[in-house]
């Protein structure tokens, strides 16, 4: 095998990407969680911290030098220009972090990178295959309202700011439907078998 196959898992907010990735982790597959790593890097990467402070002011961090997530969320989610600015600072740091992580996974049959903004950041170009997780909009709204204690119209605004399922599916090779009917465990196991076969012939 020349190199480890890289699988990207993406989808809109509230579709169940994390749940799907937990299934793959249970199967022993290494998963890089982009959003979680981004949060860690925004707190620990000094260069990135300085860039965020410069762009968004001292309020971006608390007195204890912890990222002020509620402040940043308020600033960026109502301002697409500011959101793009934040992403332009965070994504290069995540990209470098992912490269280091990937170099440590050489023994894996394949790896998974979970990212909400897979296509928007062009990181899909580094993946061998993309899996899009989809979920009916009403289920998504219900899930996010419960999970993040957000109002329905705020959830809708976030969903509207993201790429549509149709756009994602046009660029992906595989799909997992998280609609409460089809088993996501069975769909994930089927894909796992496929990816293991692909890695054997890679």
The residue ranges of every structural domain in the chain are: 1-30+112-202, 39-104
What is the rounded CA–CA span in Å between residue 174 and residue 164?
Answer: 16
Residue 20 banded pLDDT, cuts 50, 70, 90: very high
Three-class DSSP category at 170: helix
Task: Check residue 7 and report its DSSP letter.
Answer: E
Q: Are the beta carbons of 22 and 30 closer than 8 angstroms? A: no
Interstrand relation of 129-134 and 31-33 (parallel, antiparallel or unpaired): unpaired
Residue 198, CA atoms < 13 Å, CB-side half-sphere: 16
For position 5, what pLDDT does the model report?
94
Cβ-based neighbour number of residue 151 at 10 Å? 10
Structure token digits, residue 142: 């219900």
With 0-12 / 13-18 / 19 or more C-beta atoms within 10 angstroms meaning exposed / middle / buried, residue 122 is: exposed
pLDDT single digits (tens) 138-182? 888 888 888 877 788 877 877 777 888 899 999 999 999 999 898
pLDDT single digits (tens) 49-87? 999 999 999 999 998 889 999 899 888 877 889 988 999
For position 105, what pLDDT does the model report?
93
**Spacing of C-alpha 125 from chain mean position:** 15
Is the pLDDT reported for residue 131 higher than 90? yes
Structure token digits, residue 187: 């769909």
Model pTM above 0.85? yes
For position 1, what pLDDT does the model report?
37
Interstrand relation of 5-10 and 110-114 (parallel, antiparallel or unpaired): parallel
**1-30+112-202 maps to which CATH number?**
3.40.50.300
- Identify any residues that bridge with 6 across adjacent strands, giving them in sequence order: 111
> Which helix (H) or strand (E) segment is 176 a member of?
strand 174-177
pLDDT single digits (tens) 88-127? 999 999 999 999 999 999 889 999 999 988 998 888 999 9
């Amino acid at each position: 095998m020349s190199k480890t196959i890289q699988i990207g898992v993406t989808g809109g907010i509230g579709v169940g990407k994390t749940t799907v990735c937990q299934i793959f982790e249970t199967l022993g597959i290494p998963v890089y969680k982009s959003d979680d790593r981004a949060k860690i890097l925004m707190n620990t990467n000094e260069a990135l911290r300085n860039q965020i402070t410069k762009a968004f002011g001292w309020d971006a961090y608390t007195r204890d030098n912890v990222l002020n997530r509620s402040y940043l969320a308020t600033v960026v989610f109502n301002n697409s220009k500011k959101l793009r600015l934040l992403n332009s600072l965070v994504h290069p740091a995540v990209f470098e972090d992912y490269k280091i992580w990937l170099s440590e996974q050489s023994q894996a049959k394949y790896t998974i990178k979970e990212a909400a903004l897979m296509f928007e950041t062009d990181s899909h170009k580094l993946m061998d295959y993309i899996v899009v997780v989809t979920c009916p909009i009403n289920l998504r709204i219900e899930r996010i309202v419960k999970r993040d204690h957000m109002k329905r119209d705020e959830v809708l605004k976030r969903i509207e700011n993201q790429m549509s399922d149709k756009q994602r599916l046009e660029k992906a090779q595989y799909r997992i439907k998280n609609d409460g009917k089809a088993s996501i465990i069975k769909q994930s196991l089927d894909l796992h078998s496929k990816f293991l076969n692909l890695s054997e012939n890679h």
